[in-house]
Structure 1
């Protein structure tokens, strides 16, 4: 008996255009392993240059982290598939375990773009210094290179000639036009990312660079003439502080068209370091700023300040995207701080109308956050109760801190306005005023990393008790051990068990000894 309904649709009934879109949404590794040689039509689609031009041999997890491919799966791909597509590949994305098989067995004659993801720094250094085939590809073919270093820290590396990764890459890549180097830093790293005492080869071909660095001196170094054709610089600086270096910060930068500066650490050096740099960019067409400024006995940074400080020097600027936090300390001297309306009007007067802001007056001064709309950044810093509602679809990391308590209803707003939030850091020592059982359960559907180490105990109960908030993807928790033990009643009660059941990592700064119940409460640790 035929049970198929006439309305049933077979995937092969779909047109090629739709099937190709579906394939592009799937992991390429899964497509190779499951669909190659299944039938002639799938083979035509999979080996079509529109699909195969970007060879991505990584396994993307739900958090969009690239992981190595299973050995058995990759062995089949290496032997049965790679030889059939090598001449069609323009770009490769690969992790270190797959490097040897990808490059030492097949010649990719059309390859010009390469993404190296989740590499250990020592492993990458080995490839850059000893793998002849890989170095030849970098030297002869690669024009676009992305490097993502695995782990929390990048240190200066040496191969006996005291060359670091940055220098080696520039030395090897003779035709490079687009370079991205991504890594994270720890607060203990305060030295320059680059060894300024060494001769850097620079580059006569590089036009675009995206990089994370430790210090503001690194930024000045990059713009100090080593990269004559650089027109786009996207830089993330860990800390912007005063310096005794004599690196030039006055020469004009006429070739720079796009500049993006992101720095999460609060800086006192806005006037002495950031402003002089921006005033050098006389032909800039697009500017992106995310900075947190501390000022002593001075007002907030508003539209008037920005115009007089550097915008007046940028006559060709046609796009300005910004998120600027200002923290003012009055040091006992009363300062007439502008209102929120005053701040917004100062931007409107200079031609920027699509923005929002909020300001707070404190006992020691005040704080202000002003940002362009629609919001473009993946982070949102120093959110307070004065926050004004909007749609923040791009934000993945949020930091909340205030001298006034955050109530349950406010977290409800946050969950709605930041629907794709993945990382959350709450700082608040004020107890909640309303501790009644909530009438509406809050769900942070995407949140996997939560830090509640510097909070009143109320916020730990707020987030960990399943009757208040559900965290279905929570895998990383930063917290104080004493608070965690108190809320869970020494890891015996059930109130927080559901939200803690998927935890794979807990960051606790102080030393502690795990009691017997600890392991059963956190089974995946």
Structure 2
């Protein structure tokens, strides 16, 4: 390193290891366009197999949480395709492409390519490619073993589409060597559910697929995927929108001896846990890893605890090595009187039955003979944490990005949000469901910060929480982009969009979703200058 003048350090003075770390933090398109052919040292560094073996030819701009734009300047794309790709194409193992660059990138032969990610495609356009692009079809048929499909999503919950189902079935028939498929599950902001539409065994099969990551509409779709049509499947990661009793010819009884790893997430609360989920899990006799993220509603019953998990599920999995879970039970005992377990009793129920540390939060509503119990393995491994209430015991939840806070009985006070900001330091989405007014509105002088929060929902929150979060003197939200709220509390708290106390927070919003029709007052757009 040149140490003649340490006050004028040049990037060329850095060792290759540091330069490579820097490049890996930058967008690959920018690196290829700007650095290749600057000098021989950069060429050796950037064009090395270890760097370009995973070639990501996408550039993303985040406008708001659910509005992400993929594009590359045509001049940049042209230079990379003409001058750089021909030199590195035989070193590329993994390729990520978007619609705008698809045709130009796939004209080359990537002899070592085995993994392909198709990003931000509209359904009809991707279907046309799968039916009419011979280069893509040959690539999928002859080379690709790992495939990731990511569709363009502009709404929180996209509607079901027969086109998406057709794409899924077509991929299974085209990809003769496919062992891994991530279908519309690559990002939490771009999830799309597939409805299998009762396919015949002949047109929805694969004899090579071992790992599938997918979102489906209902429980019957899950049963279809496990009915033997994917006869080599050993790992299934599945999110199900609706887990409810369904009319299906497939019986939920046949053993699944080839399944080694199973991850199940219920998007909405389940009322058929005992009738559907438990029988499904008991079929997995050789399972080695089980991941459950469930929200269960029960009537005239008890909380799901360690004893129930052991006796009803785990005892049927003698080879299970790893069990990761987050299960919350909401009880409504209208017809019988049951003494609900305390948090201490819930903790004891796991001793000697489930390995590892267990977290639990219990809130019993004695007057209603109801309650909520949340049990979870620690350290907490999920990106979502649902139905957090005032019974929360605390802890560190570094992986959680989305938190739903709900309490029908007690208000959320200012100090509690301070605890939340510390225990969930990387939170990106926060949903507050609480109609109880705050008791202590004399907030402490301590400023609460949610430094990574992008989305805040106050649609089902008392007006006090609107003031709590929008007034910058209470809570600082430097990255907030999306706000979901009702018009009346927003207008009142901002004093018809004139109050300076909320101007700093509202002024940075790029997406404001108001749940009812309203007429914009004269100064509305001045108060929200960045709305798209």
| Shared fold (TM-score, shorter chain, > 0.5) | yes
How far apart are residue 212 of structure 1 and its match?
0.7
- Residue 124 of structure 2 corresponds to 122
Q: Distance in 2 between matches of 1:331 and 1:70?
A: 62
Structure 2 equivalent of residue 254 of structure 1: 257
Deviations 1:415-441, CA, capped at 9 Å, x for gaps: 111111101100000000110143111
CA distance in 2, matches of 1:353, 1:367: 23
| 1:322 counterpart = 2:325 | yes
Q: Deviations 1:239-259 (Å, cap 9, x if unpaired)?
A: 211112221210100010000
Alignment of 1:203-282 (within 5 A): 203-282=206-285
Alignment map for 1:138-149 (pairs within 5 Å): 138-149=140-151
**74-83 or 218-227, larger mean C-alpha shift:** 74-83
Deviation at 1:332, TM superposition (A): 5.0
CA drift at 1:60:
4.4
**In structure 2, how many angstroms separate the alpha carbons of the residues matched to 1:175 and 1:456?**
54
Q: Which residue of 2 aligns with 1:487?
A: 493
Q: CA deviation at 1:295?
A: 0.7
Equivalent residue, structure 1, for 2:398: 393
CA distance in 1, matches of 2:171, 2:378: 37
- Quote the residue 1:110 is aligned against: 112
Name the counterpart of 2:505: 499
Alignment correspondent of 1:21: 21
CA distance in 2, matches of 1:425, 1:6: 50
Please tell me whether the aligned partners of residues 185 and 238 of structure 1 are also in contact (alpha carbons under 8 angstroms). Answer: no
**Partner-residue secondary structure (3-state), 1:516:** coil
The whole-number CA distance in structure 2 between the counterparts of 1:33 and 1:376 is: 38
The offset of 1:7, in angstroms, is 6.0
Deviation at 1:333, TM superposition (A): 2.9
Query: Given that residues 266 and 293 in structure 1 are in contact (C-alpha distance below 8 angstroms), is that contact kept between their aligned partners in structure 2?
Result: yes
- 2:353 paired with 1:350: yes
CA distance in 2 between partners of 1:342 and 1:61 (Å): 49
Displacement after TM superposition at 1:4 (Å): 6.9
Contact preservation (8 Å) 1:266, 1:291: yes
1:49 aligns with 2:49: yes
Contact 1:66/1:117, CA 8 A, preserved across alignment? no
Deviations 1:449-483 (A, max 9, x none): 11000011000000101111111111111000111
8 Å CA contact 1:381, 1:400 repeated in 2: yes
Q: Is the 8 A contact 2:61 2:70 kept in 1?
A: yes
> What is the DSSP-based 3-state SS (H/G/I as helix, E as strand, rest coil) of the residue aligned with 1:180?
strand
Stretch deviating more after TM superposition (64-73 or 397-406): 64-73
Q: Deviations over 1:301-357 (max 9, x none)?
A: 001111111110000001000000000001153211111111111111314241110
Q: Is the 8 A contact 1:297 1:333 kept in 2?
A: yes
Report SS of the residue matched to 1:321.
strand
Indicate if the aligned counterparts of 1:378 and 1:397 stay in contact, CA closer than 8 A: yes
Mapped partners of 1:251, 1:180: distance in 2: 26
Partner of 1:476: 482
Secondary structure of 1:496 counterpart: helix
In structure 1, runs of 5+ residues without a counterpart are none
Q: Counterparts of 2:8 and 2:348 in 1: how far apart (Å)?
A: 59
- Within 2, Cα distance between the matches of 1:287 and 1:353? 14
- Is 1:523 matched up with 2:529? yes
Partner of 2:138: 136
Matched, 1:182 2:188: no
| Mapped contact 1:177–1:207 kept (Cα < 8 A) | yes
* Counterpart pick for 1:292 among 295, 298, 316: 295
CA contact (8 A) 2:403 2:430 kept: yes
Secondary structure at 2:501 match in 1:
coil
Matched with 2:375 is 370
User: Pairwise CA RMSD of aligned residues?
Assistant: 2.2
Q: Which SS does the other structure have where 1:168 is aligned?
A: helix
- Aligned pairs for 1:439-458 within 5 A: 439-458=445-464
Match of 2:39 in 1: 39
Number of equivalent positions: 517
- Which residues of structure 2 form unaligned runs of 5+? none
SS in 2 for 1:495: helix
Residues 123, 163 of structure 2: 8 Å contact kept: no
SS in 1 for 2:160: coil
Task: Work out the CA distance in 1 between the residues paired with 2:354 and 2:456.
Answer: 39
Q: What is the alpha-carbon distance in structure 1 between the residues aligned to residue 476 and residue 78 of structure 2?
A: 41
What does 1:156-175 align with in structure 2 at a 5 Å threshold? 156-158=161-163, 164-175=166-177
Q: Does 1:10 align with 2:15?
A: no
- The Cα of 1:10 is off from its aligned counterpart by 3.0
Question: 1:308 and 2:311 equivalent?
Answer: yes
Kept in 1: contact 2:310–2:354 (CA 8 A): no
Say which structure, 1 or 2, has more relative contact order (CA 8 Å, 6+ apart): 2
Match of 1:508 in 2: 514
Q: Assess if the C-alpha contact under 8 Å between 1:185 and 1:214 holds in 2.
A: no
**Alpha-carbon separation, structure 1, partners of 2:521 and 2:134:** 52
Whole-angstrom CA distance in 1 between matches of 2:470 and 2:72: 34
Equivalents in 1 of 2:399, 2:15: separation in Å? 33
CA distance in 2, matches of 1:112, 1:54: 10
**Post-superposition shift, 1:148?**
1.3
Picking from 75, 79, 83, the partner of 1:80 is 83
Tell me if structure 2 keeps the 8 A contact 1:465–1:496.
yes
Q: Is structure 2 residue 152 aligned with structure 1 residue 150?
A: yes
8 Å contact from structure 2 (residues 411, 437) kept in 1? yes
Distance in 1, matches of 2:229 and 2:484, equals: 41
Indicate the residue corresponding to 1:414 in structure 2.
420
Q: TM-score, normalised by structure 1?
A: 0.94
Name the CA distance, whole Å, in 2 between partners of 1:514 and 1:147: 40
